[in-house]
Amino acid sequence: MANGLRIEKQEPGPLHVNCQTEVEVKHGVGLHARPSVTFTRLAKSFPCSIEVAVNGSDVWLNGKSIIKIMNARIRKGSILRIRADGILADEAIRALKELIERNFDEEKKHGRTA
């Protein structure tokens, strides 16, 4: 305590983190309507902020916005950078990356191969 001023440093809790990953979209037609809905629905299930940048862009899109994701016209071969900040950010990143790597589980739902 100096001059009557007390400074307390607050450490973020163990679940409050920020992290980032990259993943290639291998789905046959990219993030069209169904995969975009699946992605944003999963993103919304986490309490942290989630953003997506496409192919090295400096523009970060709200990963919980179906409009932003669909308007990005993410095609097969696109590289997505996904970042999350907040509670359960690491789990969110892991889940979203795995969803993309599994081609949005569309083969299971629709009997198709992407």
Which amino acids are annotated catalytic?
32
Between CA 25 and CA 86 the distance in angstroms is: 25
Taking CA atoms, 77 is separated from 16, 30, 54, 80, in Å, by: 31, 8, 11, 9
Q: What are phi and psi of 38, to 5 degrees?
A: -60, -45
Between CA 102 and CA 100 the distance in angstroms is: 5
Is there a contact between 104 and 98 (Cβ–Cβ < 8 Å)? Answer: no
